[in-house]
Amino acid sequence: MARHLGTMTQHPIPDPIHSVPEGIEQLLEIMKRLRDPKGGCPWDIEQDFATISPYTIEEAYEVDDAITRGDMADLKSELGDLLFQSVFQAQIAADKGLFDFHDVAKAISDKMISRHPHVFGDESNQKSPEQQTLDWEREKAAERKRRGETRVLDGVAMGLPALMRAQKLQKRAARVGFDWPDVSHVIDKIREEAAELVEARESKTQADVAEEFGDLLFVMVNLGRHLGVDAEESLRSCNAKFTRRFNAIEDGLAAKGKTPQDSDLEEMDALWDAVKAAEKTAR
């Protein structure tokens, strides 16, 4: 987003755009100008769906990061950046004669109305959250069928983070009965996969090791699902904990006039254990 702000600073937006009411219509007009072959921004003009997609994913993660940090000012900014990505993709589609932003807004509005008959239709709004979830999933299944997605796993996005996609694939399969009856069976499977990984490491190729490691990860995600733990969020939290504790190790070493490169595993382990104990005491 900083690149776009810099571009707009160097090439002030003409008065006709300023005359557009503030808000979404102004943003749509700005995007249209940026993509205009006559006088638009060369970088914006040459983009397509594929080249913009990584930015869209990045902005979604930055929204999540702002929420995690509780920074509401940053959240407002990041939500704007994410909205801009939707506007950008819609403008690319409009330039190709496919659809425009208003079509996108109409489609999601229709979808939300269709999926909430207890709010917008004649159905009772006294349904439990559990029943509403079942109704939601049933409507989504009907939508997939209308799109021609006939297989159980059709429609689970390929671009999702691997842990998140694994969980969604497992959840979809579980809906049709392909699931372990209880968590003990999952734990047994973890032991089996761990043993196969050890065997592959001892006597097989690196490709076999990678395959068995993937199998073990997949079963671990399944264990999280059975325990009600979101694998992606759990690992993200673990990453944050590791970063926090390792930073504390660096601080501890710095207090002694040292860096990790000047230290050894025994000293860093001792600092790690001290940080871990301090965190438990503070709980």
Residues 181-195 have pLDDT tens digits of 999 999 999 999 999
CA distance linking residue 8 with residue 11, whole number of Å: 5
CATH code of the region 16-115: 1.10.287.1080
Residue 257 tokens, joined: 């006039």
Q: Which tokens go with 199? A: 């065997």
**Confidence band (pLDDT; 50, 70, 90) for 4?**
low
Same CATH fold, 159-229 and 16-115?
A: yes
pLDDT reading at 1 higher than 50: no
Helix (H, G, I), strand (E, B) or coil at 94: helix
Domain boundaries along the sequence of the chain: 16-115, 159-229, 234-282
Q: In the predicted model, what is the mean pLDDT of residues 211-234?
A: 95
Residue 142 has pLDDT above 80, yes or no: no
Indicate the range of 5-19, 40-54, 99-113, 174-188 predicted with least confidence.
5-19
* Least confident span in 17-21, 101-105, 220-224: 17-21
| CATH for 159-229, options being 3.30.70.100, 3.30.390.10, 1.10.3720.10, 1.10.287.1080 | 1.10.287.1080
What is the average pLDDT score of the chain?
Answer: 88
- Calculate the CA dihedral of residues 55, 60, 66, 70 and round it to 10 degrees: 180
Query: Is residue 147 over pLDDT 90?
Result: no
Report the pLDDT value the prediction gives residue 202, as an integer from 0 to 100.
92
pLDDT of residue 27: 95
The pLDDT tens digits of the residues spanning 46-75 come to 999 999 998 998 999 899 889 988 999 999
Please spell the DSSP secondary structure of 20-36, one letter per residue: SPTTHHHHHHHHHHHT-
Nearest to 226 by CA among 170, 183, 173, 188: 183
pLDDT at residue 17 greater than cutoff 60? no
Please classify residue 169 by burial: count the beta carbons closer than 10 Å to its beta carbon, then call 0-12 exposed, 13-18 middle and 19+ buried.
middle
Predicted confidence at residue 18, as pLDDT, reads 56
pLDDT at 124: 63
DSSP string, 118-184: HHHSSS-S---HHHHHHHHHHHHHHHHHHTT--STTTT--TTS-HHHHHHHHHHHHHHTT-S-SSHH
- C-alpha dist (Å) from residue 178 to 129, 133, 157: 25, 20, 20
Instruction: Give percent above pLDDT 90 in the chain.
Output: 66
